[in-house]
Chains A and B, each alone.
Chain A
Amino acid sequence: MTLLTEAPAARSMRLVDHFERGLDAPICLTWELTYACNLSCVHCLSSSGRRDPRELTTEECKAVIDELERMQVFYVNIGGGEPTVRSDFWELLDYATAHHVGVKFSTNGVKIDADAAARLAANDYVDVQISLDGATPEVNDAIRGPRSYETAMRAMQNLSEAGMKNFKLSVVCTRTNIGQLDEFKAIADRYGAQLRLTRLRPSGRGADVWDELHPTQEQQRKLYEWLVAHGDQVLTGDSFFHLSAYGQALPGLNLCGAGRVVCLIDPIGDVYACPFAIHDEFLAGSVRDPGGFADVWRESALFTRLRQPQSGGACSSCQFFDTCKGGCMAAKFFTGLPLDGPDPECVQGYGEEALAKRKDDGGGIPRPSVDRSHRTSPPRPRTGMGPVRLTLSRREDITAAPTSACDESPLAGFAPESIGADRRHQEGSLTDPV
């Protein structure tokens, strides 16, 4: 989000003060339309993969859009999962824009063929974000899965040929791609797109890979310098306000907007304070509740609490607190740090200290409340006995095959122990299946 403050001289409250107290309606919100996804990115914020059978129906989605129109929410950031795999995706997109709710959606590009690109280019109220997490196939596909680089490039080619201007190339900054910022910029320029960089968050499956993939302190510094140098040409979704403690505030609001100016609606209609915190702790209500979304936004106890003045806790004595505000709530939560302390990536190094102390305590680190990961992926290191070795031979106790299939009882060999059901249960739970 780019922000221009233009008004007669400020005499009373600053802009951020208004926003910290919360607005009557969000400026924009993130709406994960489905948990279904053709990919299994290792850092997926929403642990997506499989569709949730309780997903909002087309009619329910339209009712939400009607409500957003009444509340004058400017636009929704649609994501998932992969939102375009919903069969009513295009219908909902047209419905939203016809009802004055702008749509910005994130996609891996799988459905962006020439026809889809032409359709998108013709709609002034739609913006597209193509996700790419490496400027080369090697770096990207290691995170997003085989051939996902190719898919994204083809989608950008189609959008560019259709005349779509200024769509976004959206990159999550990781340890493996921070060295490629100039290359990302060149790819964006090649397709007439705008580069958008966001922060890797330890949310969803991101929690599993955060330790290996989050940028090092040295990389954070480089990223900050790159952002300062490229300032207004690059969007950040206000992701990196914790880096402001290096000195100069980065463009944007530089505040945590959770429950104040933004929120998240998940595929089954649950409303969370923040797009990066799908956890019961941040669950405010559901659009299926009698008062609908508006009631959750205006009345929920959680949002009311988030709009109270926040204590800086351990950070309040830091000279940079006013610019970094203690960083990202979700990043702290999912790394097991107190919400009123430093961000785990605090550029002053207080986060690392806190993480080290946390390890001493051995306290439980919260896990996401929802996991719709594909059951077989993402590939995780397998431990155990390795491949099962089989030897095929004839059973000696069976002297002859049954004369016909019906001669044997259909229940022969049935043991009333439902291993299949147990396994399913295990795989659907929060711990890693493998």
Chain B
Amino acid sequence: MNAEAAWRLHPQVSIRPEPFGALLYHFGTRKLSFLKDRLLLAVVEQLGTAPSATAACDAAGVPEPDRPRYLAALATLADSHMIERDSR
């Protein structure tokens, strides 16, 4: 995953915040995914406007030492097509 590129939520993905994080449902692949904390949800929500995945982490307030974990979570989301490269 290119953390310096711009990413966005896949247009066929619906996201529902939950007290523990969020649920994501992809209408194309019909897969359900689960975000385990609100901070990760905030990162995903920042993707659409941030110039890069790294910038989205910063904008959501991810502490620098934790960034690799959050980028790894985004990479998993990218693997399952929940998020995709944004050619803005």
Which chain A positions have C-beta within 8 A of B30?
2, 104, 127
Which chain B positions have C-beta within 8 A of A6?
33-35, 73, 76-77, 80
A100 contacts B14, C-beta separation under 8 Å: yes
**With the chains together, A147 CA to B80 CA distance in Å?**
40
Chain A proximity of B86: nearest CB distance (Å): 19
**With the chains together, A214 CA to B83 CA distance in Å?**
42
Given A25-B16, A75-B25, decide whether A7 and B32 contact each other with a Cβ distance below 8 A: no
Main SS at interface, chain B? mixed
A8 contacts B73, C-beta separation under 8 Å: yes
CB of A407 within 8 Å of the partner chain: no
CB of A18 within 8 Å of the partner chain: yes
Per-residue interface assignment for chain A, residues 1 to 42, with 1 indicating a CB less than 8 Å from any chain B CB and 0 otherwise: 111111111100101001000011101000000000000000
In this complex, the interface size class of chain B, counting residues with CB under 8 Å from chain A, is 20 to 34
CB of A198 within 8 Å of the partner chain: no
CB of A72 within 8 Å of the partner chain: yes
Chain A proximity of B66: nearest CB distance (Å): 8
CB of A321 within 8 Å of the partner chain: no
Chain A proximity of B87: nearest CB distance (Å): 21
Which chain A positions have C-beta within 8 A of B72?
8
Which of B16, B36, B40, B66 interacts with A74 by CB under 8 Å?
B16
B34 contacts A5, C-beta separation under 8 Å: yes
Interface centre among B21, B36, B66, B72 (most CB of A within 10 A): B36
A8 contacts B16, C-beta separation under 8 Å: no
CB of A246 within 8 Å of the partner chain: no
A1 contacts B32, C-beta separation under 8 Å: yes
Question: A-side interface residues toward B, CB under 8 Å?
Answer: 1-10, 13, 15, 18, 23-25, 27, 72, 74-75, 100, 102, 104, 124-125, 127
* With A72-B16, A104-B30, A125-B27 already in contact, 15 other A-B pairs whose C-beta atoms are closer than 8 Å: A1-B32, A2-B32, A3-B32, A4-B31, A5-B36, A7-B21, A8-B66, A8-B72, A15-B36, A25-B16, A27-B23, A74-B23, A75-B25, A75-B27, A102-B25
